[in-house]
């Protein structure tokens, strides 16, 4: 459609010039008028649609200038303005396509088939049929269709499309492999840990598709100035006409006040910021997210898997007195139930049990409360495990005072078997490398408040965050509590919530900007978030803010420069120093320069 509109003035303008050259001026004017009318009709339709949505923009100035130029017989100026407007529309489509290239690459890499080990050998199956526990052969050149663990072989993986990191990584037996990774080495076996539809990469692909299907108009910062700019334009045109008695001067003012591509420069700059972010492993849903990022004043962080590495390890097992079972049995039963949970603590227990060679049973009748705990049956026994309050709330009797103390502030998984407290499993985690530096960098970028919200007990949260520059630490928080924290922090300004778990998804949705750690987090958090950090590193947070602020700065430069230069040109036209044709050509140059300036947001 945009290509068809630009064809009319692109053909009609030189045709009219040729006709004028051969002395048929009437025919030339007719050619220019015919070239202008389709663009003017499309513009009028777009304006009507915008007005029905209560949107008022500078497109009205373009319609006025074309109409006025035709009315006074300045058909050449009208055709130039038509080419400027239609060309700007086409340039927007081209620039957005260029800027979205990095995001579109994610969609083209989506695997649709996989090689699965079945009873009688290898079979090619649809990726969506893969279930947790399936054994897959990942050949050289294949893209991993699901999240999983390496069962056999050593993997050399290219994660550049996900993370922006150019160097390949090496993963050994037992290591996690994210979906969407390219195998650039020898073939290896992978055991699926999630179904294809639940993998992080699938969630990211769905997020990109939803962003591309969205028909919501991009925010156009220039439109904020539309009413005032249009009033100045009409007033100056009227003043020039009344002072000189020459309607052509008024048309010249209107023509040079037609910053059509200027209106497109803002979304081009913002989408360019999206593309630059994608190159660094930061996927954002739309240009409005870039705008929102630029204004963030408060950041609320989850702890496990976000501020910390999220790679919990077994630190010890304490049995109840008298013992309900031995340590090995307690671990085996707990790990068997935790196979059904995506939580990082559950992953730690399953990994430890597998490392010890324990045979895990299939859990039944599983029920999980996100961020709090899980219950179900294993080998005929009813188990409950998770946070202290969750487990003690489900059992009949327990000496809570003697068991309330947690050594060293370490996280625990409390375990109950058949309604009796059986013991607790002590876990350990550590802060991400450079976490303190990242928080300091966020402060330097204008973030005024950094708040921690975690489901851990206060002692654990205090021990883990000691010495960090945090404004508040909220411990023992449920998913609903995190939402309340986000809403409370909004009184200080726009809020970003950063998390990775299923229990973080509601808070991600409630925040001004929700940011999820995609490579190790849950698909639910990735799909709910406005932004996904595909690199498992917090240093992408300040980088995302830097990119957003640069894109917004370039966009504002485009608005200021375009409107400022247009005002100077309008003054010159009002004084009679520019004809309508000269004004149209000058404005064309201004607007093309401004749009090209907007593309600077692509550069690092």
Q: What is the rounded (10 degree) CA torsion for 379, 382, 388, 393?
A: 180
Yes or no: say if 405 and 394 are a contact pair by the CB < 8 Å rule: no
Q: Give me the count of residues in the chain.
A: 604
Yes or no: say if 245 and 258 are a contact pair by the CB < 8 Å rule: no
Cα distances (angstroms) measured from residue 233 to each of 91, 188, 594: 25, 68, 20
Q: 87-101: buried (b, 16+ CB within 10 Å) or exposed (e) per residue? A: bbbbbbeebbeebbe
Tokens of 114: 């996989």
Q: What is the 3-state secondary structure (H, E, C) of 420-464?
A: EEEEEEEEECCECCCHHHHHHHHHHCCCCEEEEECCCCHHHHHHH
Q: Which has the closest alpha carbon to 594: 83, 7, 95?
A: 95
Yes or no: say if 535 and 164 are a contact pair by the CB < 8 Å rule: yes
Cα distance between residue 402 and residue 366, in whole Å: 29
In a 13 Å sphere around the CA of 134, the CA atoms on its Cβ side amount to 28
Q: Which residue has the tokens 């307690």?
A: 330
Catalytic option among 302, 500, 504, 530: 302
Q: Which has the closest alpha carbon to 358: 318, 326, 391?
A: 326
Tokens of 370: 């996100």
Cα distance between residue 163 and residue 159, in whole Å: 6
Backbone angles phi, psi at 589, to 5 degrees: -65, -40
DSSP 431: B
Cα distance between residue 171 and residue 152, in whole Å: 11
Number of C-beta neighbours around residue 505 at 10 A = 27
Cα distance between residue 202 and residue 150, in whole Å: 19
Q: Dump the DSSP string for 151-191.
A: EES-EEEE-HHHH---S-EEE-TT-EE-TT-EE-SS-EEEE
Beta-bridge partner residues of 298: 449, 495
Backbone angles phi, psi at 55, to 5 degrees: -105, 130
∠ Cα 388 389 391 (to 5°): 70
**476 given a catalytic annotation:** no
**3-state class of 219 per DSSP?**
coil
**3-state class of 452 per DSSP?**
strand
**3-state class of 539 per DSSP?**
coil
Cα distance between residue 541 and residue 535, in whole Å: 10
Active site residues: 302
């Amino acid at each position: 459609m945009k290509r068809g509109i630009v064809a009319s003035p692109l053909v009609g303008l030189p045709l009219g010039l040729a006709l004028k050259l051969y002395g048929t001026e009437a025919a030339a004017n007719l050619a220019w008028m015919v070239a202008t009318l389709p663009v003017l009709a499309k513009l009028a339709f777009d304006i009507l649609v915008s007005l029905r949505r209560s949107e008022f923009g500078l497109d009205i100035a373009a319609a006025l200038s074309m109409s006025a130029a035709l009315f006074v017989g300045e058909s050449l100026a009208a055709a130039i303005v038509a080419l400027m407007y239609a060309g700007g529309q086409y340039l927007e489509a081209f620039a957005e396509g260029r800027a979205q290239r990095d995001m579109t690459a994610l969609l083209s890499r989506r695997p649709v088939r996989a090689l699965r080990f079945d009873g009688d050998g290898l079979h090619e199956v649809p990726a969506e049929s893969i279930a947790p526990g399936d054994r897959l052969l990942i050949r050289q050149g294949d893209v991993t269709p699901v999240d999983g663990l390496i069962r056999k072989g050593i993997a050399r993986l290219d994660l550049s499309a996900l993370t922006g990191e150019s160097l390949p990584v090496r993963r050994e037996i037992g290591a996690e492999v994210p979906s969407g990774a390219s195998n650039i080495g020898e073939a290896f076996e992978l055991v699926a840990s999630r179904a294809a539809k639940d993998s992080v990469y699938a969630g990211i692909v769905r997020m990109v598709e939803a962003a591309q299907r969205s028909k919501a108009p991009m925010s156009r910062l220039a439109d904020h100035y539309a009413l005032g700019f249009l009033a100045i334009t009409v007033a100056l045109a009227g003043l020039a006409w009344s002072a000189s008695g020459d309607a052509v001067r008024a048309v010249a003012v209107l023509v040079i006040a037609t910053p059509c591509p200027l209106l497109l420069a803002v979304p081009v700059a913002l989408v360019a910021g999206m593309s630059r972010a994608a190159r660094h492993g930061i996927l954002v849903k739309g240009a409005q997210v870039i705008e929102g990022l630029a204004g963030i004043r408060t950041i609320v962080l989850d702890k496990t898997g976000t501020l910390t590495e999220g790679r919990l390890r077994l630190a010890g097992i304490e049995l109840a007195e008298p013992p309900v079972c031995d340590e090995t049995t307690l671990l085996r039963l707990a790990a068997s139930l935790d196979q059904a949970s995506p939580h990082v603590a559950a992953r730690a227990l399953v990994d430890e049990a597998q490392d010890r060679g324990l045979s895990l049973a299939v859990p039944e009748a599983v029920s999980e409360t996100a961020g709090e705990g899980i219950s179900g049956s294993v080998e005929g026994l009813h188990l409950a495990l998770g946070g202290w309050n969750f487990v003690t709330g489900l059992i009949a009797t327990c000496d809570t005072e003697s068991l309330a103390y947690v050594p060293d502030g370490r996280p625990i998984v409390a375990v109950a078997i058949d309604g009796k407290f059986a013991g607790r499993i002590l876990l350990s985690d550590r802060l991400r490398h450079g976490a303190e530096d990242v928080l300091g960098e966020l402060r330097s970028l204008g973030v005024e408040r950094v708040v921690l919200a975690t489901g851990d007990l206060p002692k654990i949260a205090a021990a883990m965050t000691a010495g960090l520059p945090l404004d508040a630490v909220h411990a023992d928080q449920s998913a609903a509590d995190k939402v309340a924290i986000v809403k409370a922090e909004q009184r200080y300004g726009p809020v970003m919530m950063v998390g990775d778990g299923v229990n973080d998804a509601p808070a991600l949705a409630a925040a001004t900007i929700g940011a999820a750690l995609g490579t190790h987090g849950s698909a639910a958090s990735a799909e709910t978030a406005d932004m996904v950090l595909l690199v498992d590193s917090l240093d992408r947070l300040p980088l995302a803010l830097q990119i957003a602020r640069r894109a917004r700065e370039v966009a504002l430069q485009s608005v200021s420069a375009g409107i400022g230069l247009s005002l100077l040109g309008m003054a010159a036209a009002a004084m009679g120093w520019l004809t309508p044709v000269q004004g149209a050509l000058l404005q064309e140059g201004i607007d093309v320069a401004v749009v090209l300036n907007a593309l600077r947001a692509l550069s690092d």
